[in-house]
């Protein structure tokens, strides 16, 4: 296997990238000069040094020389600790933040659960989620969990799976579980929903 094929194989594993696009990426890099490639390789190799996973919401954030294990959202005292939105990925959180219509906290699952998945616990941060709900629930700070997942079959399946997981602690600690309201049309990924849509979906949650 030559370098182009190897690189194509890497790109092909990126979310939403097919074999043809992956090959185009590899050829694109070939058209760039050496210093661009060195800069690119450096960014990739150092990514994990500068970015860490928040131990509370599990989003990735840049340390920026601050010695902290939690991100700026989780550290912000003005955030409403009675609300927790559960999303699949970091991009979903970023999109909700961009809508400026939510002031609570988040939990990032780190993926979704495909229908017929035999080991769903390996697809999402299940143990971390259960621990978070148990901790917040026992402190009586958490009042509502909002499931904000993609309006796709896989997103809905993930929502059902997570809801089943959290049913028991929710009853035990009197936490309400709600879903984003209509407005996010079927088949849409949260990542591509505009701010108004997100705002309405949050307002009309049920
Ligand atoms: Zn955080």
pLDDT, tens digit, 9 for 90 and up, residues 120-179: 999 999 999 999 999 999 998 999 999 999 988 999 999 999 999 999 999 999 999 999
Instruction: Please state, as a whole number, how many other Cβ atoms lie within 10 Å of the Cβ of residue 98.
Output: 11
Q: What pLDDT, on a 0 to 100 scale, did the predictor assign at position 183?
A: 61
Distance CA 3, CA 15 (A): 21
Q: What pLDDT, on a 0 to 100 scale, did the predictor assign at position 182?
A: 64
Residue entry with tokens 């991100």: 71
Distance from the alpha carbon of residue 84 to the mean position of ligand 1, in angstroms? 11
**C-beta of residue 206 within 8 angstroms of C-beta of residue 109:** no
Distance CA 42, CA 16 (A): 24
Q: What pLDDT, on a 0 to 100 scale, did the predictor assign at position 187?
A: 63
Q: What pLDDT, on a 0 to 100 scale, did the predictor assign at position 185?
A: 66
**C-beta of residue 8 within 8 angstroms of C-beta of residue 26:** yes
Q: How would you class 20 by CB atoms within 10 Å of its CB: exposed for 0-12, middle for 13-18, buried for 19 or more?
A: exposed
Distance from the alpha carbon of residue 74 to the mean position of ligand 1, in angstroms? 4
Strands 104-108, 80-87: pairing kind: parallel
Q: What pLDDT, on a 0 to 100 scale, did the predictor assign at position 21?
A: 95
Q: What pLDDT, on a 0 to 100 scale, did the predictor assign at position 63?
A: 80
Q: Which residue ranges of the chain lie beneath pLDDT 50?
A: none
Distance from the alpha carbon of residue 105 to the mean position of ligand 1, in angstroms? 8
């Amino acid at each position: 296997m030559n370098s182009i094929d190897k690189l194509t194989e890497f790109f092909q594993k990126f979310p939403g990238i097919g074999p043809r696009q992956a090959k185009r990426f590899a050829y694109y890099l070939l058209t760039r000069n050496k210093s661009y490639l060195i800069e690119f390789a450096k960014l990739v190799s150092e990514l994990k040094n500068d970015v860490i996973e928040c131990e509370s919401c599990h989003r990735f954030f840049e340390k920026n020389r601050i010695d902290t294990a939690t991100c700026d959202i989780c550290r912000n005292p003005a955030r409403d600790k009675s609300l927790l939105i559960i999303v699949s990925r970091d991009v979903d959180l970023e999109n909700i933040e961009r809508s400026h219509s939510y002031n609570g906290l988040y939990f990032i699952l780190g993926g979704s659960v495909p229908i017929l998945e035999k080991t769903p616990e390996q697809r999402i941060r299940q143990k971390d989620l259960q621990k978070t709900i148990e901790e917040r629930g026992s402190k009586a700070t958490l009042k509502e969990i909002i499931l904000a997942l993609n309006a796709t079959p896989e997103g809905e399946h993930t929502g059902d799976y997570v809801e089943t997981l959290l049913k028991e602690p929710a009853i035990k600690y009197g936490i309400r579980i709600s879903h984003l309201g209509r407005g996010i049309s079927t088949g849409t990924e949260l990542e591509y929903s505009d701010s108004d849509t997100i705002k309405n979906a949050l307002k009309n949650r049920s």
